[in-house]
Structures are given as structure tokens and as C-alpha cells.
Amino acid sequence: MKKAVVCGGGGFIGGHLVKRLKSEGFWVRAVDIKFPEYDETAADDFIEGDLRDINICNRVFDQNFDEVYQLAADMGGAGFVFTGENDADIMHNSATINLNVLETCRKRNIKRIFYSSSACMYPEHNQMDPDNPICSEDSAYPANPDSEYGWEKLFSERLYLAYGKNHGMTVRVGRYHNIFGTHGTWEGGREKAPAALCRKVCLARMNNENEIEMWGDGDQTRSFLYVDECVEGTIKLMRSDWIGPVNIGSEEMVSINELADLIIKIAGNSDIGIKHIPGPLGVRGRNSDNRLIEEKLGWAPSQPLSEGLKITYEWIEEQAYQKYKS
């Protein structure tokens, strides 16, 4: 039986990845600082521990594994990443995790590892036009990420690729673009835009309110990828022969106003309006460029945004009713 480790396996994407690997017959060990928040882990073995601690890493990687997926990071949505208040923690915590995981895997002679990078590592100057952002893999340099979170991701990409080159490890790097879906954070400040807007629309309906708040003018653009396709792309990249970083995202770009309108329509309340307020925004435009993934893997995400949003809204609505109506 093949064995895998999912670092960050108690989190949103990691939890979905554990389930996928189990469905393929893997024995799976997950590690995270917390157990999954919304359901039981599907992992065969779950270690609750902090990967910043090298002793925890030694406990996790106590044998050889066929596949290691490194998704653990200190991260969150715009309200966490772009205020500047968490920059030192973001860089220190995530870099320490990556240094520890890589060195422990090297010592254990573990040869195949996937690292989850982010579209936040792309240069800010290529993402100022909301209608024409440039996010092809070869546009990463000259480097100029718009956040310390993005700088750490870029550093860690190079770290993983250096270990691959110097130590004979098979390293794969996926640049995630705004992943969303069920069983992810939907309140508390670390949630991403789709979850935040689903929550706001749901609570407005519950409280008979006719307005939700949105940071900025709403004209900034993004693409959003449903978590099932993220997991599919991750596994396809992990088992491919391509070495360089690859975008894992959707090319269906929408403005945040359009995203909110989609969610309001899914909720069935067309009379809910949007109040624009000041807040952290990030770049003006970002969209996945899927030419490379199509060329190298013969695959690219294809699920319409509306389908994933419907599933996600219904799940968040259920969570909100359980919490606030019970």
C-alpha cells in the first residue's frame, strides 16, 4: 500500500486532499496544529502538532513516504494578509515550516514532495489593470509581490526547487489561485472573498437586511477555483514529469461585484444591495493563465464558477443556521 503525508491536513484544501488520497487506496498521515473544524478527518493517522517544531517533523516523517503534500502555512484572506499587522508572523511561521519539512524529508530520503505556492507571488506591477492582469508562470520575474505573504511563497518556491536540484528530490510546485469550497473558514477574519460574501448574504437574509458591505469599489477582478478541481490539479501535477511551477486556477475572471451578484442570485434575494466601504484589497486584477498546465498536463479546470458557488453557499448557509439559529 502506498503511503502519503498531507501537511496542513486539518485545513480546508488539505482535508479535501486527504479524502481524495484515501479514495485512491493510500494510507494517509495528516498533520496540522488543529483537527478539521467541520468534520472528522479521513486520515488513517492524524498528528496534532506544529511543524515549526523540528521534533514534530521528526515524528511525522518517521519512515519513507511515497508522496508528501506540503500545504501548511500561516495564511488567510485580505483582512489578514494585506493589513501589514501579521507580516512578520506570516513570513517567519511559513518559512520555518518549509525549512523544517524539506530538511526532514531530505534526511529520510523522501523523494517526491508537492509544495502549494500561491498566485500572490506574481508581480504587483503586472496586476494593476483589472481587465488584463498578467499571471503566466514566466512573468514571475523581476519579482515584486504585493505582500510579504507573496514574498515568502516566492522564496519557498526557490527553496523547494533548490532542494530538488541539489538533493535529487522530485519537487512539484503549484501556484494556487483563490481556492474556495465547502469545509473551509467562513468567518473570523481569515476567510477568502467567496466565503465572506456567502456568509454576508446568508446573514442578511436571516436578519431581514437589504444590504451587505464590501471592501473597495468591487471592480477589482479575480478568478476562483473550486476545491475539487484544485485537488485534481494538485495530484495530476504531483505525478507528472514537469518540474517548474504551474498555475492551478480558473480562467473565469469576475469582478468582486459580479461575484457578489452571483451569490445574491444563488441565495434567491435579488433585492440585496452592496455598500462599498474602505478596506484592504490586494492587486486590482488577477486571473489564472492556464496555457502551461494544458500543455504539460493535458488538463485544466473547467467547472463554471456558479456551480461551485452554489455548493459552497448552501454549505455556509447550513453552518450559519446551525450557529445563529440554534
Catalytic positions, written as ranges: 149
Q: Residue 21's closest CA among 232, 297, 240?
A: 232
Burial of 65: CB neighbours in 10 Å, binned 0-12, 13-18, 19+: buried
Say if CB 113 and CB 172 are below 8 A apart.
yes
Preceding amide of 145 cis, omega within 30: no
Q: Closest Cα to residue 52, out of 94, 109, 103, 90?
A: 94
Q: From CA 13, how far away is CA 25, in angstroms rounded?
A: 19
Written as one string, the DSSP assignment of 150-190 is HHHHHHHHHHHHHHHHHH--EEEEEEE--EE-SSS--SSS-
C-alpha cell at 298: 493535458
Task: Tell the residue number behind the cell numbers 472528522, with chain if given.
Answer: 40
